Amino acid sequence: MLERVGFIGLGIMGRGMAGNLLTAGFPLSVWNRTAARMDELVSAGATAGKSPADVAAHSDVIVTCVSDTPDVEAVLLGPDGVINGARPGSLVIDMSTISPQATEAIAGQLAQKGIAMLDAPVSGGAEGAARGTLSIMIGGAAEDVARAMPLFEAMGKTITHVGGTGSGQTVKLVNQILVVGNTLAMSEALLFAQAGGVDLQKAFDAVSKGAGGSWMFTNRAPQIIARDWRPGFTVDLQQKDLRLVLAAADQLGAPLLGTGTVFNLYRTLQSRGLGAEGNHALIKALEHLAGFEVGAADEPEA
C-alpha cells in the first residue's frame, strides 16, 4: 500500500515532481499559494488542499518544493503550516534549496511534534523534474530515507543519502560552487578567445572534450556563441543559492574567493535588470568590464 503524499509548491520544479508521484500511483493531495497552479494536477487526479496544514492532515508524507528559507519556514511552521496539521509519525521531505543551518532548526521544531524530516534538494532543472531524472541529495536518518525511497525513485535517478540532517543542503551548495566556478571559467575562456581573434566554434570543438571541458562548457558555450540567453536556471535563482553558499561558508569559516566574485558579478547583472536570463549570462558582466562582446558582433547591448 503506497503512502498518502501531500505536495506543497507547484512551481517550475514542483509541478513535474508532483506529476511523477501521481503517475507512480501515490494518492496525492496538493497545495500551492497561487491556487490556479493546482488545476492541472487536480484534473490529473490529485486533491486540492485548503492550506499546508490541511494537506498534512490528509497525508503520511509531505513534500515541499518552494523558493527560499523563509518560504519553507512559512509552509512548515507558519499558522497554517504543516506542523499544525501533521500527525506524529508523519515524514516531511523538503526538496527546496535552502540554508543547511536553518534546515537543522526546522527539523528540530518538527521533531518536538513527532514529525520526522529529510532535506532532499535536487539538481537537474525543470527538464529533470518533468522526466523524473533528478539528482537528489539527501540528509537525515537512514530509516526515513528508506521510507521515502519509493517517492525518490519516482522523481529522480541519482539518489544519494549523503549524511545527517542538513547535509543534503550542504552537498547541494557544493554543487552550486562547482556550477559557478565552471561558469566563470567558461566566460573568461570565451572572452579570451574572442580577444585572441580565433574562430569561437573551432575553439569550442578543440577544447570541449579535453581536460578543460565541463557540462557547463559543453551545454552553455554554444548558447553564448549564439547569444541565446534563455534560462535553464536563472541568474536570480543562482544568486539565491550563492547567498546561501556564502552565508554557510561564513558560518563555517571556509574562504570562497571565486564564489564571492561570481556573486558580485551576478549582482551587477541583477541591477541591470537581467535576473531572469540564464546563469550563463555571467559573461555579460565580464563583457561590460572588457568593453567588447563575444560572438555575434551586431547584437544590440542588453
Residues involved in catalysis: 172
CB atoms within 10 A of CB 252: 11
Q: Is 235 in the site for ligand NAP (CB under 6 A)?
A: no
d(CA 302, CA 298): 12
Q: Which stretch binds ligand NAP (CB under 6 A): 11-19, 40-48, 177-185, 288-296?
A: 11-19
- Binding ligand NAP (rule: CB under 6 A), the pick from 2, 4, 24, 33 is 33
Q: Is 66 in the site for ligand NAP (CB under 6 A)?
A: yes
**Dihedral sign for Cα atoms in the order 249, 250, 251, 253:** positive
**Residue 276 cell numbers, joined:** 531572469
d(CA 192, CA 117): 47
- Binding ligand NAP (rule: CB under 6 A), the pick from 59, 96, 165, 259 is 96
Nearer to ligand NAP, 125 or 260 (CB): 125
As measured in angstroms, the least distance from the Cβ of 50 to ligand NAP is: 14
Q: Which residue is nearest to ligand NAP (CB)?
A: 11
As measured in angstroms, the least distance from the Cβ of 64 to ligand NAP is: 9
d(CA 170, CA 101): 9
CB atoms within 10 A of CB 138: 25
- Binding ligand NAP (rule: CB under 6 A), the pick from 5, 6, 7, 11 is 11
For residue 62, what are the contacts with CB-CB under 8 A and spacing of at least 6? Answer: 5, 6, 7, 8, 52, 55, 56, 82, 86, 90, 91, 92, 93
Site residue total, ligand NAP (CB under 6 A): 24
As measured in angstroms, the least distance from the Cβ of 12 to ligand NAP is: 4
Nearer to ligand NAP, 185 or 237 (CB): 237
Phi/psi for 101 (5° steps) reads -70, -40
Q: Is 156 in the site for ligand NAP (CB under 6 A)?
A: no
CA distances from 153 to 49, 102, 134 (A): 24, 26, 10
Q: Is 77 in the site for ligand NAP (CB under 6 A)?
A: no
- Binding ligand NAP (rule: CB under 6 A), the pick from 62, 63, 115, 122 is 122
Question: Which secondary-structure segment (H or E) carries 193?
Answer: helix 167-195
Q: Is 181 in the site for ligand NAP (CB under 6 A)?
A: no
If phi > 0 it is left, if psi is from -120 to 50 it is alpha, else beta; for residue 227 that is left
Degrees to nearest 5, angle at CA 86 with 82 and 89: 130
Q: Is 76 in the site for ligand NAP (CB under 6 A)?
A: no
- Binding ligand NAP (rule: CB under 6 A), the pick from 10, 28, 115, 116 is 10
- Binding ligand NAP (rule: CB under 6 A), the pick from 4, 47, 48, 67 is 67
Q: Is 36 in the site for ligand NAP (CB under 6 A)?
A: no
Contact set with ligand NAP (CB under 6 A): 9-14, 32-34, 37, 65-67, 71, 74-75, 96-97, 122-123, 125-126, 233, 237
